[in-house]
Structure 1
């Protein structure tokens, strides 16, 4: 229990740390309409600023569109502009998709982030499904460009978010996970030269793929796919980049949490498969043990080393004893806790995606309340009355809440069933 409490304190500290990778904190749309006579700034409501920014997405100058997207992102981070979305949803989606198709790498990254924020704001329902249907093809094409790592990472994050919110069927989610997989395992034609993905792209792919895996039922996935993913993530544990190692380690922990490894043994008496999977899981356990106590290396920061050790100690405890790390995060005066790898991966992904807007969305976004079964005692309702708040509630909120709570319950049952199972299951024979 002492180790569990140490893990809980450590993860609480980790989750409460400040994020520094925000898109921007000062960029705004420059418009004559924002200045009055004598240079006195007018008080323009956020919807007007969003309208101006949306209009600016029609401009030919790329820098103008980029600045407009920055402002849109800031607005969606600082509030949930439901009224604007009700009126301009289709226009914003299509203009952002135009930026994905034709913009610079920076513009594509910003537009991708804006589309993800739009999906999180509308919540589950027809609008989220429309975002997914309209955006999958352009995002898939943009991912083939092998452009800057930041652009590819943003596209992967966007695809993960819109699928998480708008995907209602396992087939839809599986299709998007395959698109992600092909970023690092491309299907090459006769005249196509393979390019080695950068560490940030690999990390982003593994993180996005794992985020979507949290919504899948392990029994519905093909055993061969499980074997292939475990084998690949095992090779990533040997990479020098620690962000890759951590992402791969968490992905493996999630696979073992939601997947039943006994399924691998039911291969119509195929002893070769049984021997292979036993050898693979023994290898993973040995890798996790080594990474949990790895000594520092030249040029590597102590923080990165500590993050790796702490993560893999948690993974090791889970594999040996079946206990997932418990985390606690303060949201205003409330505490959001996680007790499974599924919940932790969802929380960390959305915290990283929302950046400076994370607290605001956790306090007001009903979709996220449903995902985490979290109800803050005090909601920040700036400028929105209770009546208006109810008006903009997602029409599918009850359905989504039932779906997400069912999935989380399945994860908990799987965790309880597997508690103590891994110690014997990972012993080398």
Structure 2
């Protein structure tokens, strides 16, 4: 029956508004049916991939893991995993223990994505309890760089989300630190030097997990080794390692580990003798001066022929921000627009900046979706609506003008600080 015939046949019973109402309801029901069908189709596919994880053929398991990783990157599948996370976790752990390097890497990533999806709930703690020992063993037994990097990231994520106290966090921090600094572990003579790519990932993951200790009282004596070793990495040949070490050191400044008398988190009274207290203060002050001198050099490093300009600019920017923070106490701020609908994520401390950088790297192309829909990320950062969305074109122009003015003032301030650093004023103040 044609459209005109339907209208004529119903003309005695409905007016035009009734027809519009019926049309609207029909459209809504159709959209709901399509959404339901799409959801059911996705769940059917995911169930199939879970079944494939039990297959003996490694290539089949790898393909299933790859598809599951894609799904968990592209969607926040909280409802789907409510009754399946233990099944998924057990199969992921089996893949780490018995699978190829590729399979173990995919499984490690899948566990991390599972923890991020579950969020800070009881299930997250169970994921951590079940996986930490297997991940730590994989770090010790394996020598493959790619696998080690994936396991390090996974260990950082599951502990960050699932740990409930400092003791649980310290277990993972220690396991990761033994990878970063092999001399701190039991098998010193058997461990080879890490490739620079793995070392940078390891420091980044360790720093990410270290951001969780800010709420606990810190014994400064426990951090002497970390401060000393990371300071030597500022002279590493690889720029990515220098940047990763710089972020960790920035966190040390924020936590007060390099400014013992300024922090509420440092338990200086745990040192049971005045001589020890004085020695610790003196040591950290000398390390602070050494680090700032090197940071000053890295913030103005010249680029030679063939230099990777982006990495060089990242390095300069980071160490300038560290110097500015030490001098002014002002943390760098990051404002990340998620979308016009979902608003902004803001990072206003070194802790938040390190968390943001790590999660952007770990989630990759899935970061935007999780930033929009995952409550865990909203809790970690200052999440707010973009106030310019509802403004008129004139109001938006005024807002941009005010923003440009603020950025101009900040640039002038940054240039002034940079000039002072070049003249050595900052280093003189710290000595």
1:307 to 2:347 alignment? no
Give the whole-Å Cα distance in 2 for the aligned partners of 1:105 and 1:219: 37
| Residue of 273, 283, 286 corresponding to 1:279 | 286
Give the whole-Å Cα distance in 1 for the aligned partners of 2:268 and 2:186: 35
Offset, 1:336: 1.5
Q: Which residue of 2 aligns with 1:38?
A: none
Offset, 1:275: 2.6
Secondary structure at 1:124 match in 2: coil
| Residue of 315, 321, 344 corresponding to 1:335 | 344
Q: Are the equivalent residues in 2 in contact too, given 1:314–1:325 (CA < 8 A)?
A: yes
Q: Which residue of 2 aligns with 1:369?
A: 378
Give the whole-Å Cα distance in 2 for the aligned partners of 1:87 and 1:230: 44
Unpaired segments ≥5 residues, structure 2? 1-37, 388-424
Secondary structure at 1:59 match in 2: coil
Give the whole-Å Cα distance in 1 for the aligned partners of 2:428 and 2:175: 32
- Range with bigger deviation, 185-194 or 168-177: 185-194
Q: Which residue of 1 aligns with 2:369?
A: 360
Q: Are the equivalent residues in 1 in contact too, given 2:156–2:208 (CA < 8 A)?
A: yes
Q: Which residue of 2 aligns with 1:180?
A: 176
Give the whole-Å Cα distance in 2 for the aligned partners of 1:342 and 1:191: 31
1:105 to 2:107 alignment? no
| Residue of 248, 251, 270 corresponding to 2:248 | 251
- Range with bigger deviation, 358-367 or 220-229: 220-229
Measured at CA, do residues 426 and 106 of structure 1 come closer, stay the same or move farther in structure 2, by a change above 3 Å? farther
Measured at CA, do residues 255 and 218 of structure 1 come closer, stay the same or move farther in structure 2, by a change above 3 Å? farther
Give the whole-Å Cα distance in 1 for the aligned partners of 2:159 and 2:304: 38
Secondary structure at 2:56 match in 1: coil
Offset, 1:152: 0.8
Give the whole-Å Cα distance in 2 for the aligned partners of 1:191 and 1:252: 25
Relative contact order, higher structure (CA 8 A, sep 6+): 1
Measured at CA, do residues 309 and 128 of structure 1 come closer, stay the same or move farther in structure 2, by a change above 3 Å? same
Rg larger for: 2
1:232 to 2:229 alignment? yes
- Range with bigger deviation, 210-219 or 326-335: 210-219
Give the whole-Å Cα distance in 2 for the aligned partners of 1:90 and 1:168: 19
Offset, 1:146: 3.9
Give the whole-Å Cα distance in 2 for the aligned partners of 1:377 and 1:80: 22
Secondary structure at 1:330 match in 2: strand
Offset, 1:190: 7.3
Measured at CA, do residues 218 and 232 of structure 1 come closer, stay the same or move farther in structure 2, by a change above 3 Å? farther
Measured at CA, do residues 191 and 323 of structure 1 come closer, stay the same or move farther in structure 2, by a change above 3 Å? closer
| Residue of 105, 129, 134 corresponding to 1:133 | 129
1:143 to 2:150 alignment? no
Q: Are the equivalent residues in 2 in contact too, given 1:152–1:201 (CA < 8 A)?
A: yes
Unpaired segments ≥5 residues, structure 1? 1-41, 379-422
Offset, 1:375: 5.1
Offset, 1:104: 1.3
Measured at CA, do residues 204 and 424 of structure 1 come closer, stay the same or move farther in structure 2, by a change above 3 Å? same
RMSD over aligned Cα atoms: 2.4
Secondary structure at 1:101 match in 2: helix
Q: Are the equivalent residues in 2 in contact too, given 1:218–1:258 (CA < 8 A)?
A: no
| Residue of 269, 275, 290 corresponding to 2:274 | 269
1:93 to 2:92 alignment? no
